[in-house]
Structure 1
Amino acid sequence: MKIALKIGYEGTEFSGSQIQPELRTVEGELLKALKEAGTIDDFESADLSSAGRTDAGVHAFCQIISFKTTNPGLAIPRVINSKLPRDVWAWAYAEVPDDFDPRRHAVRRKYRYILSGDYDISKMRDASKLILGEHDFANFAKKDKKNPKSTVRRVEKLDIRTGNGIIRIDIEANAYLWNMIRKIVTALTLVGSGLRPVEWVEQMLDPDNYEEGIEPAPAFGLIFLDIWYNPEPEWKMDSYAIRHVNEHYVKEADRHKVISAMMEQFIIHEKKPE
């Protein structure tokens, strides 16, 4: 039987989601937990796969992992979570067809980037409108010379919202290039800070005639927020798992609010000369 899980993770202490020898990864922790819980017999027969790779430091709320099991009664989130560390958890599951591929069968993915700073939001929104639709995003991707692929992607939505000193950038597309979202965020902040005009984004979307390398925004602000399939698996929410995750992160959110306020006390404000 094949099972799909909705999992979340705080990516700070992970070297990415994809399993890598000698490094702590999300897939590595999941495989260990599935084996310890008796959900899978061995790593090879589990045939574990995910909806997408996230880099070191990137977070997820709704990453999809699928695997094969002969023990479906032990494939529920609360069982698996009992063997997982605090920074990765499962919260829903579904039985899926044997040919289900969480990456290839996805029709749309949503990410959110969270940042703070003093930016011209109106200019950022004007720039975001240029990014919507199908474009060649070669200037917004980390080049893969060993395995060159098409750099054309279609961005369906790009929303920018502000509140309480925080900027949230939501982006939805069928698929993404390596570092594409974080480089889009960099471009938007360059426009929002006045370092680039809005029209520069049009140039960036025309890589045949204009080429410029930009650094990706920091990984810690990015979260893989949601994913859709057609047909959608019949997800079963694990209320016990959700309750325990919520309790933990409500406390963590409160703790970080205090730490943020405390760190503001370290900022030295120099008096301007009269």
Structure 2
Amino acid sequence: MSDTVLLQRDGAIATITLNRPERRNAFNLEMWSALGDVMADLNGDDGLRCVVLRGAGDKAFAAGADIAEFSKVRFSAKQAEAYAETMDRATDAVRDCPHPTLAMIRGACVGGGLELAIHCDLRISGRSGRIGIPINRIGNALPYAAMIALVEAVGRPTVLELLLEGRIFDAEEACAKGLITRVVEDGALEAEVQATAGRIAAGAPLVARAHKIFSRKAAAPSDLQDKDWAAPFEICDSEDYREGIRAFLAKESPNFTAQ
């Protein structure tokens, strides 16, 4: 595995660290490829309950893409499309991850950093968080993969505010607009993320995975078919549902097995 993307496993929680602190964790092509590889492996791991994504150091989650390599790898329409294929493989893997995903944001979360974070289920930021996509300054258009994810998350007016002005939001404004889920003091960020991941991991994994699917489908309720309407009730045939009821009545912590 590339050392630009680090993986740590603590029980049912996996932590991915974007590891280019000398460049404020700006993505180069190697880093996007490595992230796609790591996510592909984690997505097939049924023992996981939560995936945390963070940046190395305390300066940035990810300060966009590394523009220094663009003249070699992203300097024409053909190159840009090939670059996007590698990038989209990584962000799609985060979007489609069956396990809940959580972005821990400190400092810069701009450009490709925000394009990655917006695909996570939850985004918790320290007050130092700086959020934006100032690509109007380099004459670059946002590809549809990121555009769709942002519009789904925060709506067209906020996306146009991001893109047309190129302004960087502080954490509080980003939270008010829906780009961030929660803001805490920087000193409390690690503990808040750990506590959040712990709460997620303690829940029934079948239910967490189902809720990710159901919430996406709920965005277009007119497309729901009979099998979709029935799917939430099928969870009641699971062993985890029986275990949850047993543990609640016995005033014990449930032992969910994703069965």
* Fold match by TM threshold 0.5: no
Return the TM-score normalized by structure 1. Answer: 0.23
Return the TM-score normalized by structure 2. Answer: 0.24
Higher strand share: 1
Higher helix share: 2
Structure with higher RCO (Cα < 8 A, 6+ apart): 1
